[in-house]
Chains A and B, each alone.
Chain A
Amino acid sequence: MKTLTTIAVGFDGSADAKAAVRWAFNLAAQIDAHVVVVHAVGMLGRFEDRDAAKQLEESVRQLSDDCGLDSSRVRLHVANGDACSVLIRVADDPISADLLVVGSRGQGKHPGLLLGSTSLELAEHTTVPLVIVPSL
């Protein structure tokens, strides 16, 4: 089995996404892997709070501190596109992830409905192993 060196984790700032990031950071700490936190900027990204990028960085830094993961092993990757399309590409350059981690629901999703479920879309289309971290 291929050694896990790079873990990608989707992050939209939601509580579910934070749970996924914590899970990925804890795993990375155990196996000496790097983590790329992936944030997708959609069409409405233009209308987001101007401080959104700063808040995103701060959230990621706080989470890595909480998990005791050296910040040098964490990178934030911001890409244009919807979350599903962006996360499907994590196996490619420039991320080259060996594993993808996502929360079970992102912002504004509806539990129990197939439509709009990024995690289910990814389960169908991703080319790297996928971990879906349940919300607690």
Chain B
Amino acid sequence: MLVMNGRYEDAGHEESGHPERPDRITAAIAGVEDLHLGDDLRAVAPHAATRAELARVHEGTYLDELGAFCYAGGGDLDEDTYATYDSWTIAQYAAGGGLAVIEELRRLNDGVGFIATRPPGHHALRDRAMGFCLLNNIAVAAASLTEQGERVLIVDWDVHHGNGTQAIFWDKPDVMYVSTHQSPLFPGSGAAYEIGGMAALGRTINIPLPPGATGDVIRRAIDEVATPAIAEFEPTWVLVSAGFDSHRDDPMADLALTGGDFAALARTVAGFAPGPGRLAIFLEGGYDLAALRTSVASTIAAVLAGAYDDEPPSSGGPGTEMVHYAQAERLVALRIAQEAASKGDYSA
């Protein structure tokens, strides 16, 4: 069963010519509809995240300023990120969607969650909007779970590094953050030596990939670099920052994934969940509407073990050496940090 957030009115968060636009949600929903799930699809009522729910990961002053900025008419928050009068309300619903879906998954103790909300979230920092993101939707959801004693794995396959999510959980041992992303690319973070803070060494796993990297390279990255650490972490929940801008047709970057690659990735990631009702997939990027639609369909079909005519998986792109280098760099960083910690030097 697929549990989805109910759609809320998001048309008010739009800026002429900006690629992060309401049509993206329409395309994602069309991807789900292409699967003809019938009774296997359950929509939960839209939920606007409360201030207390947001304040688990965002500073109160930031929430106040963002709300005031929107109600003053909005504008450009930085060179990439805009807000309108309606954006504050819409962002609250975007962040609340994950909470509502997770609550339903917990109640059912079954199913897979898919949260198709916008604006996306993984660049949003505790105190700052960034990279089209106002509130960090997946972080809000993960924090709600850790507050209930859960151990949360976040896998981020967006083409951009999720700097906001990484920063929010940098020192939190009950969250593991795994990212594959193109490098160099915005936001410039996500090096393999970024491994987490002293209280959470090894809980951050970054695997930067070169332009042109194909699905076989990302699968290798997950299998060789991330899987052993994930097995050791033993997550009780798995959340996915599913950015489909790593699709080969996306105009935002240069990775070369296909719908078939997202299906394979989704199957792998679903295998990290300890049982049914413990996997939720959050929409992040994805700006080519046709690629977004087919990628969503492939991803959902894969985790539901349903049938979908995926694009063939891609292979043969560059990046294998970069994966090996990332693994080596990560292990060296871990060793240096662990030695420093054993000597009580927390500045390393």
Contacts and interface: CB of A to CB of B under 8 A. Distances in A.
User: Are A and B bound to each other?
Assistant: yes
Interface of A: 12, 40-47, 79-86, 106-110, 113-116, 118, 121
A82 B187 contact: yes
Contact of A109 (B76, B130, B187): B76
Interface stretch (B24-32, B77-85, B197-205, B331-339): B77-85
Residue in A85, A106, A108 whose Cβ sees the most chain B Cβ within 10 Å: A85
A113 B69 contact: yes
A121 B76 CA distance: 16
Contacts of A82: 78-80, 130-131, 186-187
B255 to A, nearest CB: 13
Nearest to B130: A82
B121 to A, nearest CB: 14
B188 interface: yes
Contacts of A109: 76
Contact of B78 (A45, A46, A114, A116): A116
Nearest to A108: B76
B306 interface: no
Given A41-B186, A43-B160, A114 B128 contact: no
A115 B130 contact: no
A118 to B, nearest CB: 7
A82 B131 CA distance: 8
A115 B71 CA distance: 13
A47 B252 CA distance: 8
Given A46-B252, A80-B188, A115 B76 contact: no
B160 A116 contact: no
29 contacts: A12-B79, A42-B80, A43-B160, A43-B186, A44-B18, A44-B79, A45-B186, A80-B187, A81-B187, A82-B79, A82-B130, A82-B186, A82-B187, A83-B79, A84-B78, A85-B188, A85-B189, A106-B79, A107-B76, A110-B75, A110-B76, A113-B69, A113-B72, A114-B65, A115-B62, A115-B66, A116-B75, A116-B76, A116-B78
A46 B79 contact: no
Interface residues of B, number: 30
B128 A121 contact: yes
Contacts of A81: 186-189
B75 A80 contact: no
Contacts of B130: 82, 85
A44 to B, nearest CB: 5
Tell me what chain B mostly uses at the interface: helix, strand, loop, or mixed.
Answer: loop
Interface string B176-196: 000000001111110000000
B253 interface: yes
A80 B189 CA distance: 9
Residue in B62, B76, B79, B187 whose Cβ sees the most chain A Cβ within 10 Å: B79
Residue in A41, A82, A121 whose Cβ sees the most chain B Cβ within 10 Å: A82
A43 B160 CA distance: 9
Contacts of B132: 43
A80 B182 CA distance: 12
A16 B18 CA distance: 24
A115 B77 contact: yes
Nearest to B65: A115
Contacts of B79: 12, 40, 42, 44, 82-83, 106-108
A40 B188 CA distance: 10
Contacts of A79: 188
Interface in B77-113: 77-80
Given A44-B80, A84-B128, A108 B75 contact: yes
Contacts of A106: 79
B184 A80 contact: yes
A86 B76 contact: no
B147 to A, nearest CB: 27
